[in-house]
Amino acid sequence: METVQIPPGALPGTGGTLFQASETAHHMLVARPDQLMDQPANAAYALLLYEIATVEASSGRLSDQWPGRLMREARPAVRAAAGLASEATAQQVVDALWAASQALRRNDEPGARAALVPPAALQTEIARDRLQRYTLPSQGVRALRELRLALEREAGPTP
């Protein structure tokens, strides 16, 4: 079973890891994708959350395994759109995206480029350029929507 160590500070809110990662990823990548344009730090962070949600949804924490499968099946397209390697481990991708997002927030372009290297990224320049104008592929949109619905079903009706 795939696992990932979440970098300290990557999920600052309260609530379960799966819920927090999927809700924030959905908000950033699906509900407000226009806010990622020319915001590579936000795009890197949103993709980090997608990666965490994929691992968490696939870990058996949900009674419905379909959303986890959709997240895993969409992951190669999600990564390719960002110039990330499909064969990289989740941990390699999370670590690279966290380092890149933090460097970009500090306006440390050399630090961001240093984070986006193989094995996580296909090529530094490609990954950096794609984060600048990232759009989640339709498979990723569908997977995040299905995951969100599954989490709502498991939570039950709100009082």
Q: Which of the four pLDDT bands, split at 50, 70 and 90, describes residue 156?
A: confident
Above 90 in pLDDT, residue 100?
yes
| Cβ contact 99:115 at 8 Å | yes
Segment 7-42, tens digit of pLDDT = 999 998 767 899 999 999 999 999 999 999 999 999
Rounded average pLDDT over 140-146: 97
Average pLDDT over residues 112-122: 95
pLDDT at 145: 97
- The model's pLDDT over 44-98, given as tens digits with 9 standing for 90+, comes to 999 999 999 999 999 988 888 999 999 999 999 999 999 999 999 999 999 999 9
Region 143-152: mean pLDDT is: 95
DSSP-H helix ranges across the chain: 17-26, 40-57, 66-81, 90-105, 109-115, 124-132, 138-155
- Exposure of 15 in the CB half-sphere (CA atoms within 13 A): 11
Q: What is the pTM of this model?
A: 0.94
Q: What is the pLDDT of residue 158?
A: 64
**pLDDT above 80: residue 157:** no
Pairwise pLDDT comparison (6 vs 1), residue with the higher score: 6
DSSP for 125-149 reads HHHHHHHHT----HHHHHHHHHHHH
